[in-house]
Chains A and B, each alone.
Chain A
Amino acid sequence: MVDDIAPDSVLRRTEIALRDVSVSYQSGKEGRKTVLSRLNLKVAAGEFVVILGETGCGKSTLLRLILGQEFPTEGAIEVDGKPVTQIDARCGYVPQKYSLFPDRTVLGNVMYGPENAKSRFVGRFRPSFFAFRRTLRAEAEEFLMGMGLRAQDMHKYPHQLSGGMQQRVAIAQALLMHPPVLLLDEAFSALDPSTRSSLQEQLRAVWLESKPTVVFVTHNTSEALLLGTRLILLGRHGEDRMGETNLVLDMEIPQSQLPLSARIRAREFQDLLEYVKQLAYKSSSLHADDPVADRIVEEGNLA
C-alpha cells in the first residue's frame, strides 16, 4: 500500500553532487567563519557514505546542504541532477534529537508521511482514504514489529519510549516513505552500545534490501568504517588554510560487502580503524595531500 504512494522510489536511484561548495557565516567579532571550503563531492546512487569528523568540522552542515535546509555561500548542490532550492521531500531525514512529533503516538508518527503523500484536506474524508489508512496501519505495525517494537508500544507517545526505541521509530518513519536518499545526522550518538549496534545492523539490512543512497554523519570512527561503503573525513577549517578544502579523506571502505560481524573481526578492519582514528585526531591540522592520508587511502584500498 505504501508502495502506491512512491511506486518507483525504491528503484529510482538518486545521485548527489556538490560542486565547489563553501559555507561561511558572520561570527560576531571573529569576522567571517568558514565551515566548509571548496568541497567537491559526488555520491553515486545506492552508495552508503559516512561522513566523519570532529565537532565543528561542518559534517552536519554538509547534511543540511544536501537536505536543502541550508544553502551554500558559494558553489552548487544537485540531487538527481536538479539544484537543491528547498527542503527536499525525496530525502528521508533522521536527526539526533527531536526526530518524532511529541503529540503523536508511535503509529501516528510513522503514518504521518504516507498519509500526507496519499491525500490532503477534503481527500481525507473520502471512504477510500479510510480504507488506505486501515491498510497503512497494518503495514506500519508490521514494519515497526520488524524494527523491534512490540504491539503494546504502538499507541505510546514518544516520551514514553526509551531513546533507542525513539530512534527506531524515527528510522521507521523515514523508511516507510521509501526515500531514495536517506540522511542520518548522528542518529545513534545518544544511544547505549548494545542498542546502537542493534540499530546499526537494522540500518545495514534496510540498505542492503532497498539500496537507497545513504549519507550518515557520525563522529564515531568504528561506526563509520563498519556501516558505510565509503568514508569521507572532514577536518576543521582554520584561518591558516584559507581557500583550501577541508576534505581530508575520501576513500572506499574495504570489505564493505561483508556482514558487520565478519567485518569487525577482520584484522584489516582493526588496522584501518586505528589509522583513521589517528588521522581524524590530526585532521584539524592535516592537509588532504598529507603522506599519512595517502598511505591510509592506499592501504585501505589494498586491504
Chain B
Amino acid sequence: MAQAFRVSDLTGIQVRPARLWTHSLSWILFVTGIALYAHFSIVRHQENPEDRVIPSATQLVQGLKSSVLEPAEEDDPLDPGATLLEQVRHSMIWKDTASSAGRFFIALLLLIPAMLLGMHMAVFPYAGAFFLRFVLFFDKIVALSLLPILFIVFGIGEWSKIMLMFIGVAPTLMLDTYNIAGGVPREQSVKAFTLKSTNLDVAYRVVLKQVLPQLINSLRLNLKPLALFLFAGEMIASTDGLAYRIAIMRRHMGMDIIIPYLLWVALLLFMLDALLRITNRRLHPWYQPL
C-alpha cells in the first residue's frame, strides 16, 4: 500500500513519488515561467501600452499570426484571395523553417559517416591509430573560430553553414562513438570470430548493431549543439532561415516574432528528439539502458 506523502520525502532518496505527484511537479516550472512572464508583461504594459520588450498575449498572437500567415517583408505580397494553405506555404515561418531544416538535415546526414568512422576507429586498431590523435586535437578547435576560413573556402552560401555544423559536432560525436564502440566486451567479437564472422561482420553485424541505440542517443544529445552552430551560421551570413529572422527581428525589437520563433525552434527540436527516442525504442526492444 502506498504511503502518505510526508514533507521529509522531498529530500529522500528512497522515495517513489506517486504518478499524480510526478506529473504535477513536472509542470510547476512551466506554469511559474508563464506566470512570471505574464506578470512582468502586465507591469510593463501598465507603464507603456506600446511596450515591445515583453509583448502581451495579444501582441504575441498578432506576431504569431503574421509569422504563420503572411509572407516575409522581402517577399512579394500574396494574392488577397489565397487559401489558408497557400498563405501558410508562403508564410515567413514556413520559408524560414524549410531553409533551416534543409541545412540541418544535410548536416545530420553528413554526421552518419563521421559516426561510422568513430566506430571503425574503435574496432580496427590501425584505423584508431591513424585517426584518434588527430580527431582528439581537432575536437579542441573552437568551430566558430573556423568560420572565416569556411567562408573563404566555401563562400557565404549554404555549404559554409553546413560545414560549420559538421565541424562543430562531428569530432565530439566521433569520439563518443569511439568510446561507445570500444565499450563492447571483447568476448563478443571473439565469440563472433569463432562463429565464422569476418572482420566486417564483427564491425557491422556485432559491434554496430549493439551500439546503435547508444549512438542514436548520442545523436539526440547533439541535436542542440547542431542547432546552435546552425544559428551561429545563419545569424552571421544568411538571407533566410529561423536564426536569420530572429537576428533581423532583434534589430526591430520584434519580440512578438522572436518569442514564437524561439518556441517553434524548441518545439521542432523536442519533436525530433522524441521521434528519435521512440524510433530507438521500437527498433531496439532489447536495449537495456543503464
Contacts and interface: CB of A to CB of B under 8 A. Distances in A.
Interface stretch (A27-35, A85-93, A200-208): A85-93
Contacts of B187: 95, 97-99
A91 B191 CA distance: 10
Contact of B195 (A67, A95, A157, A173): A173
Nearest to B188: A98
Nearest to A156: B286
Interface residues of B, number: 22
A89 B197 CA distance: 8
A113 B190 contact: no
Contacts of B198: 120
Contacts of B284: 103
Contacts of A72: none
With a 10 A CB-CB cut-off, give which of B187, B210, B287 has the most chain A CB atoms: B187
B29 to A, nearest CB: 35
In terms of DSSP, what is the predominant structure of the interface of chain A? loop
Contacts of B210: 101-103
B288 A159 contact: yes
B196 A92 contact: no
B193 A113 contact: no
Nearest to A95: B187
B81 interface: no
Nearest to B286: A157
Nearest to A105: B286
Interface string B162-192: 0000000000000000000000011110111
Contact of A116 (B188, B201, B285): B201
B206 A101 contact: yes
B11 interface: no
Interface string A74-87: 00000000000011
- Central interface residue in B191, B198, B206, B210, by most chain A CB within 10 Å: B191
A177 B196 CA distance: 9
Given A97-B187, A101-B210, A87 B285 contact: no
A99 B191 contact: yes
B194 A91 contact: yes
A144 to B, nearest CB: 16
A28 to B, nearest CB: 21
A290 B6 CA distance: 69
A67 B210 CA distance: 24
Interface string A155-194: 0011100000000000001100101000000000000000
A92 B285 CA distance: 28
Nearest to B195: A113
B209 interface: yes
A112 interface: yes
B194 A89 contact: yes
B196 A103 contact: no
Given A95-B187, A98-B185, A157 B193 contact: no
A95 B194 CA distance: 12
B191 A95 contact: yes
Nearest to A118: B196
A69 interface: yes
A103 B188 CA distance: 11
Contact of A179 (B190, B194, B285, B286): B194
A1 interface: no
Contacts of A157: 285-286
A117 interface: yes
Given A93-B190, A102-B287, A179-B194, 16 more contacts: A67-B190, A67-B194, A69-B186, A87-B193, A87-B194, A88-B194, A89-B194, A89-B196, A101-B191, A101-B192, A101-B206, A102-B288, A113-B194, A113-B196, A116-B201, A158-B286
20 contacts: A89-B195, A95-B190, A95-B191, A97-B185, A98-B187, A101-B188, A101-B191, A101-B210, A102-B287, A103-B284, A103-B286, A112-B195, A113-B194, A117-B196, A120-B201, A157-B286, A159-B288, A174-B194, A177-B194, A179-B194
Interface of B: 185-188, 190-198, 201, 206, 209-210, 284-288
Interface of A: 67, 69, 86-89, 91-93, 95, 97-99, 101-104, 112-113, 116-117, 120, 157-159, 173-174, 177, 179
